[in-house]
Chains A and B, each alone.
Chain A
Amino acid sequence: MKKLIAFLGVLAMLLTMVSGISFAEGDTIKIGTIYAMSGGNAAIGENILRGINFAVDEINAKGGVNGKMLEIVQGDHAGDPQTGKSEAERLINQEHVDVIMGCHMSVVTDVVAQVCTINQVPMITAISTLDMLSNADHEAYEYFFRLCPLNSVYVRDMLQYLKDASEQTGEEIKKIAIFTDRAAIGQELIRCVELFKDEFGFDLVATVDYSSNATDLSAQVLALKQADPDAILCDSYIGDATLFVQTLTAQNYIPKMIVAKANGFTDPAFITNLGAAANGVASVVEFNPDLINGKEINEEFKAKYGVNMNGHSAESYTVVWLFKTALEAAGTTDGTAVRDAIAALEIDGEFPGGRKIILPYDKIKFENYDLAGEPHYRDNTSASVAIAQVQDGEWKTVWPFSFTDTQILYPAPLK
């Protein structure tokens, strides 16, 4: 036993040292991915990896990039910024990846983006939505780009949906309320609604919050009932989202519109948990299988993995194609050249040699711009989201109207 322990210790030390020795560059182009593959958020990492692998297989089948095959090198940040930093350094210095994708939590993304900028390795985040990542403090993160919409854009689109919905419902929305978690996700929702509500002329009549994993939400539902809003905006994790809708029906309070900012509401368990009671709940989605440009790819994807493509898989898929296009434009894997190619990239409608953009917008370009009076850097300014609604136990895209034929179910029946 003594020997075993000593041996294990020595082995670990030696291998760490040995793995520090760098090996020669291979003849593949390496994409490093840093997502939570273990821990509480592992399921999210898995969906992301599916999207990435799908794109890589597609590209490699067509001959790769600049005559080289794409290769994925996986990192695991386990939801921790310290681990994220270690993993970014490992991928860059040991595995010699050419570009990096990540991460799933915005805090980790921030730390990894620093490491990438210092090492001059281009990085695109597919799904980190915190506004702050591209604000003035991040101006110097020159190798970091963001494909997905910002939290503010999510909320702006939610409000836009409420405004546009009157075209179909015939009723104008005036009073809105917020129901959300006290944690980071909720704080973001509240902040963003405050930012845009006046622009849309909405009156915020109540802001109701609770602590994550609540066991009882009746007081909160009662508060909403008393405020009597025309629409409720919410953001919750899956347990709380389920309990919220259950409490609404138990108290026989049926708000006309519920619009969620994804998270728990778009978790597959949401519809399974609630059954028919989920009908009418709407949520932001980054992708939905019934989107006009998404139907075809979703069928192939489903045939391969047995599940529908979700927002995370679709956005990650798109990022791999962005890297491919930029690498081809640069003609090299040199970090600075690829970075400049990404900055100059302009995808209009479809990728050269690939599909149409499968997300609910038709242009991709990274730009510096102002959002709500604050400067932002290197975001995809055309990014926006779609709104889907549960109808007959399935998510159906209802907005933007140009991407779907489905009508809004109004008022939300919740049965």
Chain B
Amino acid sequence: MSEKIKTVRGYHRNVTIVLGVILAIFLLIPTFVKNPYTLNVFILIFYMSTLSMAWNLLGGMTGQNSLGHAAYMGLGAYAASMLITKAHMNPWLSAVLGVIIVGLVAGVIFYPCFILKGPYFTLVSIAFGEALRQFIINSSFFGRASGIGLPFGRDSWLNFRFGSKEPYYYVGLAMVLLVYLIMKKIERSRMGYALRTIREDEDAAAAIGINPMKYKIMAVVVSAMVAGLVGFFYASYIRYIDPEMMVQAKSTESVLPAVVGGAAFVEGPLVGGLIMIPLSEFLRAKFSSILPGINMLMYAIVLLVVIRFRPAGILGWYDHSKFKTFIDTKILRKPPIEVIEEVEMMKQQGKEA
């Protein structure tokens, strides 16, 4: 018996080591990579992947395909920017308030909308995004179509404003990690099981005592809040926002990393973001000056190929691949699943006793 416990512990240790090494690599990148452009690509990866994780909570885990995430992101960016420029609030504080505002708005607006299912929810999310954009374009308080610029000035942590990339890199990395841990926690919690049950069959979920309405609202609110947080990061990084950031095409961009990486997995958006964003940047840098637009065509082809041949995404393929078996058995030394379950069971019993 103790042999089994040992192997399971060994496995967990190996997983921790591998994750630690990956994290260490990301932490060390700025000390080796000094080129601001390359760091810029990493920062893009961080915030687009985070946005995609937000989408994935609704689209992947709950099965509610939203096409309005650019609007939540925009709302977060606007809320934070308005608080900074008009109320002269500290950016960090305005980020917290901005995220809460986005959560409230999403909860209130979507409460009545969740009577709708499937494609109707998607349509409402599109309409919501466009309505919000039009509202800002027509409101002089929000600067209409001209947008808002954040004050330009000396580097400062207090004002979250830097000329160099490193601070944005680390804050972006921290944001990805934080959101990833939250999503992982949700996935393993009661809420995660409820959301997946709703995704598979909403009526069945209701029949076994899960309140679909309650959980869907929770998912929308959390998802919107994360998107709002990304909006704050975006505004602080780009330092200029306008209603164009809420257009439909931007919402689609938030879906792509998740779909390419594997929407069924919490890690999907991270893997998808790591592949698709450098790819898009690379194609533009190398080809757009040769034949304008060709980069988008090539990007689209890659996307079509992935969707056609790996509809479950890259992680969906990896999950059943020999590569995974190899990594699990040879590198992580993962014991058979029965052994892990047995040890888990023993731990449970130990606690109860």
Contacts and interface: CB of A to CB of B under 8 A. Distances in A.
Interface stretch (A182-190, A260-268, A359-367): A182-190
A137 B149 contact: yes
Contacts of A20: 33, 35, 37-38
A87 B138 CA distance: 31
A85 B282 CA distance: 15
A276 interface: no
B240 A19 contact: no
Contact of A90 (B37, B239, B245, B278): B37
A107 B244 contact: yes
B302 to A, nearest CB: 6
B317 A2 contact: yes
A141 B306 CA distance: 43
Contacts of A42: 292-293
A13 interface: yes
A361 B317 CA distance: 64
B199 interface: no
A94 B37 contact: yes
Contacts of B16: none
Nearest to B310: A5
Interface stretch (A74-82, A238-246, A290-298): A74-82
Nearest to B33: A20
Contacts of B146: 130, 132, 184, 187-188
B20 interface: no
A87 to B, nearest CB: 8
A15 B41 CA distance: 12
Interface in B221-249: 234, 238-240, 242, 244-245
B238 A82 contact: yes
Contacts of A182: 137-138
Contact of B144 (A73, A141, A187): A187
Interface string B306-324: 1001100010010001000
Given A9-B275, A22-B35, A81-B240, A187 B152 contact: no
B314 to A, nearest CB: 7
A222 B33 CA distance: 63
Q: Which of B289, B309, B310 has the most CB of A within 10 A?
A: B289
Contacts of B151: 137
A5 B275 CA distance: 10
Contacts of B317: 2, 5
Contact of B288 (A9, A37, A81, A114): A37
A319 B239 CA distance: 26
A83 interface: yes
Interface residues of B, number: 49
B285 to A, nearest CB: 6
B167 interface: no
A346 interface: no
A85 B40 contact: yes
Nearest to A138: B152
A61 interface: no
A45 B145 CA distance: 22
B308 to A, nearest CB: 10
Interface string A134-162: 00011011000000000000000000000
Interface string A33-57: 0000111001001000000000000
A111 B317 CA distance: 40
Contacts of B281: 16, 86
Contacts of B18: none
A76 B292 contact: yes
A12 interface: yes
Given A42-B292, A111-B238, A130-B146, A15 B282 contact: yes
Nearest to A111: B240
B321 to A, nearest CB: 7
Contacts of A107: 147, 240, 242, 244
Contacts of A138: 152
B44 A86 contact: yes
B209 interface: no
A16 B292 contact: no
Nearest to A119: B36
Contacts of B292: 37-38, 42, 45, 76
Nearest to A93: B37
Contact of B37 (A8, A13, A80, A89): A89
Nearest to B321: A2
A111 B41 contact: no
Contacts of A183: 137, 145
A1 B311 CA distance: 13
B343 interface: no
B4 to A, nearest CB: 34
Interface of A: 1-2, 4-5, 8-9, 12-13, 15-17, 19-22, 37-39, 42, 45, 73-76, 78-83, 85-87, 89-90, 92-94, 107, 110-111, 114, 118-119, 130, 132, 137-138, 140-141, 182-184, 187-188
Given A16-B281, A37-B288, A73-B289, 20 more contacts: A8-B279, A8-B302, A12-B275, A12-B282, A16-B278, A21-B35, A38-B288, A38-B292, A38-B293, A42-B292, A76-B284, A81-B240, A83-B284, A86-B44, A93-B36, A110-B240, A140-B153, A182-B138, A183-B145, A188-B146
20 contacts: A5-B305, A13-B278, A19-B286, A20-B35, A38-B295, A45-B292, A73-B289, A74-B288, A75-B288, A83-B284, A86-B40, A86-B41, A86-B44, A90-B37, A93-B35, A94-B285, A107-B240, A110-B149, A130-B146, A137-B152
